[in-house]
Structure 1
Amino acid sequence: MRRNTGVFIAFAIVFCWFALLTFLLQFPTVFTEPWPYILLLLQTHLYTGLFITAHDAMHGVAAPGNIKLNTVIGFVCALLFAFNWYPRLLPKHHQHHHFVATEKDPDYHGGNFWAWYLSFLKQYITWPQMLAMALTFNILTYFFPLENVVLYWMLPAVLATFQLFYFGTYQPHKGEHNAENKHRSTTLKRNHVWAFISCYFFGYHYEHHDKPFLPWWKLYQEKDRSFK
């Protein structure tokens, strides 16, 4: 059961993402009410969860001990997150871990926030991905209201990309890091509620680089140990 926990969590995230999206595409959207915005944030959080699950697969911890299943989970979750291509993401992410915050790090950029964000997008957005998004958008708008497709399928993916960049790349790696900081990473103050809401505990970023074999749902435990 313990070895399958990651699989159950991955399945739960995918199921919740798909179920909520199916509901929201048909949801009567009234922009004067708070519900569309609350549901938009919830769907954004689930989008972020898709990528975090794909990220766990890159470290072999989505389905530890089962390489094929682990790869399938990573492939599916990356694809659902705006048609990202898992075989392309995998080597780039390990390059980030091996050369963190250096010129060889594909996630790192020494410029200001927006320059860094654009550099980040260029690393991970491809023309085939954009074409797949455009085709899917047209198919969805044929069956569902345009505002629902934009608000609950397109916009959450954009917001989740920004969320992942800010909390998982920019905030932990910006600025100068002293020579004793072997991972060139900072970490959030210990606040498990905010750490989960903001980016599935990946604000505890030093802990992740120090123990990359831990799945996202165990990072708070590592934070507790380091806090003591």
Structure 2
Amino acid sequence: MDYLQKHKGAVIATLVILSWGLSLWFLLHFPVNIYSPVPYLLLLVQTHLYTGLFITAHDAMHGVVSRNRKVNKTIGTLAAGLFAYNNFNRLLPRHHAHHHHVATGQDPDYHGGNFFIWYFSFLKNYITWQQLVLMAITFNVLKLIFPAENVILFWMIPAILATFQLFYFGTYLPHRGEHASDNKHKSHTLAKNHTWAFISCYFFGYHYEHHDKPYIPWWQLYKEKK
């Protein structure tokens, strides 16, 4: 029990990764009936687990998955890579630039344009041509093994939707518009509703709290909500 408590961050990160992997394996074998609501509900669950992969990688960027640096980076690299071949080493400096220069011209996550321009800028900053090539290769390999509709519904579309989920709840809503002069983190935050905060983006709607205490892992962030 003491061991689990000491390594709780790594255990939770491992559970998120395993949940994503086991769910994907099950769903790739799932008989799809496009006229039933069940596949679409499962698609949303898989989207949430994809978001969890990125949140896990994000926590590793702050060094809070494990006190052991090698374990922390290994888990972060794995979680990032499973989410559409993101490169942990490439994401790391960009995310810290976001924290150091939030909502300024030096913030890679920020854009003063409308929603669609901002979203395009967000994608451009985080998606590379190498990722697209790897995704295309993986798609074509997977559809040789599994039904194409399963690969599209449960591997490809959830990754796209999770990108939107991360952007909308973790970047756009928290940083859009004007911020009070005493808002040192230039971040809005969700009203207190822990269930919605978890479902929407693993508590990262509590965004001011995250910027205020970036050393708090996602699964404890709700405790910082006043």
Query: Scaled by the length of structure 2, what TM-score is found?
Result: 0.98
Q: Residues 1-228 of structure 1 correspond to what in structure 2 (within 5 A)? A: 1-63=4-66, 65-223=67-225, 227=226
Distance in 2 (alpha carbons) for counterparts of 1:88 and 1:191: 33
SS in 1 for 2:5: coil
Deviation at 1:75, TM superposition (A): 0.2
Deviation at 1:3, TM superposition (A): 2.9
- Offset from partner CA, 1:48-76 (integer Å, 9 cap, x none): 0000000000000011x200000001000
**RMSD (Å), alpha carbons:** 0.6
Output the amino acid matched with 1:75: T
Output the amino acid matched with 2:10: V
The percentage of aligned residue pairs carrying the same residue is 65
Output the amino acid matched with 2:167: F
Deviation at 1:106, TM superposition (A): 0.1
Query: Scaled by the length of structure 1, what TM-score is found?
Result: 0.97
Instruction: Count residues with an aligned counterpart.
Output: 223
Q: Which runs of 4+ in 1 moved over 3 A?
A: none
Output the amino acid matched with 1:47: Y
Distance in 1 (alpha carbons) for counterparts of 2:148 and 2:74: 31
Distance in 2 (alpha carbons) for counterparts of 1:15 and 1:36: 20
- Offset from partner CA, 1:185-204 (integer Å, 9 cap, x none): 01000000000000000000
Distance in 1 (alpha carbons) for counterparts of 2:37 and 2:176: 35
Deviation at 1:31, TM superposition (A): 1.1
> Which segments of 5 or more consecutive residues in structure 1 lack a partner in the other structure?
none
- Offset from partner CA, 1:25-53 (integer Å, 9 cap, x none): 11100011111011000000000000000
